Structure 1
Amino acid sequence: MTAETDLIKLYSGRILELAASIPHTGRLDTPDATVKKRSPLCGSTVTVDVRMQDGKVSDYAQDVKACALGQASASVVGSAIIGQTPDQIRAARDALRDMLKNDGPTPAAPFDGLEVLRPASAYKNRHASIMLALDATCEALDQVENTHDA
């Protein structure tokens, strides 16, 4: 099987379905933090707005301009993020990175839908785009925590 055929198979029907139905798109009027991240390799960008209440994400919005893999990742994250603590979200980010780089375990529920991206582990040039939504969200959570600590 050629590398091109493998890449075409990577864009499975489920990944394309997720990419076509990203929840929480747009922007929040009054976020606690906003972060825009860009993958230098492919130019994909994700901007996230986060609002926190009682130590959990209470509202979330994302503006996603990414490849189908980055969109699929943002879709899973958007579906799972509300009600999660910063520690749960950081654990999901770390698990996704480990899954892609080291064939580690799938991120824990409710982020276990990221399993659909496991075939992308062979394509290191796609990892940054897949990580964008969680990386941006974690950076936004850091900003919120640093603001409250100050």
Structure 2
Amino acid sequence: MASDTDLIKLYSGRILALAADIPHRGRLENPQASVKKRAPLCGSTVTVDLDVEDGVITRFGQDVKACALGQASAALMGAHIIGRSRAEIETARDALRAMLKEGGDAPGAPFMGYEVLSPARDYRNRHASILLSLEATAEALAEAERATACA
């Protein structure tokens, strides 16, 4: 069981600052794709709206209703999301998952900064919330690509 001191360390000033300043906050009007994901353990949700052109994200919006860790993760992703491909999103998602669950390295460029969430490794009930924004974005990007291919 985590002590109160451990929880205070987990919610560092950097995490709280990220959570307070999420880039691309809000929904888009008429997006090509929209995906809502929910973390079943904690109830956190992230809704992602986006547009894609030539395989990269050109417009992005996110509605984040999550704990500070999920919000910080959404902020890190949002800071680098415009111009990213599905392969880059999926690579970052997989690296973040490995960082949390297997002690792997944090995602690399262009998705820098996720190492701030490494203390959350010991809090499995927070992993789903931390992964939500990247998972929703990967799904939305795949959805937009399918819609474009069918058009």
Cα separation, 1, equivalents of 2:98 and 2:76: 17
Identity %: 62
1:34: how far off? Answer: 0.3
What does residue range 35-74 of structure 1 map to in structure 2 within 5 Å? 35-74=35-74
What's the offset of the Cα at 1:148? 2.8
TM superposition shift of 1:24: 0.4
**In 1, Cα distance between the equivalents of 2:84 and 2:78?**
11
TM-score for the superposition, normalised by structure 2? 0.95
Distance 1:144 1:79 in 2: 21
Q: TM-score, normalised by structure 1?
A: 0.96
Moved over 3 A (4+): none
CA distance in 1, matches of 2:4, 2:146: 45
3-state SS of the aligned residue for 1:36?
strand
- Counterpart CA distance in 2 for 1:114 and 1:61 is 20
Task: Count residues with an aligned counterpart.
Answer: 150
* C-alpha deviation, 1:43, in angstroms: 0.7
- The equivalent of 1:75 in structure 2 is 75
Shift, 1:50, TM fit? 0.9
How far did residue 38 of structure 1 move?
Answer: 0.7
Superposed CA RMSD: 1.3
Whether the aligned pair in 1 keeps the contact of 2:55 and 2:145 (CA below 8 Å) is: no
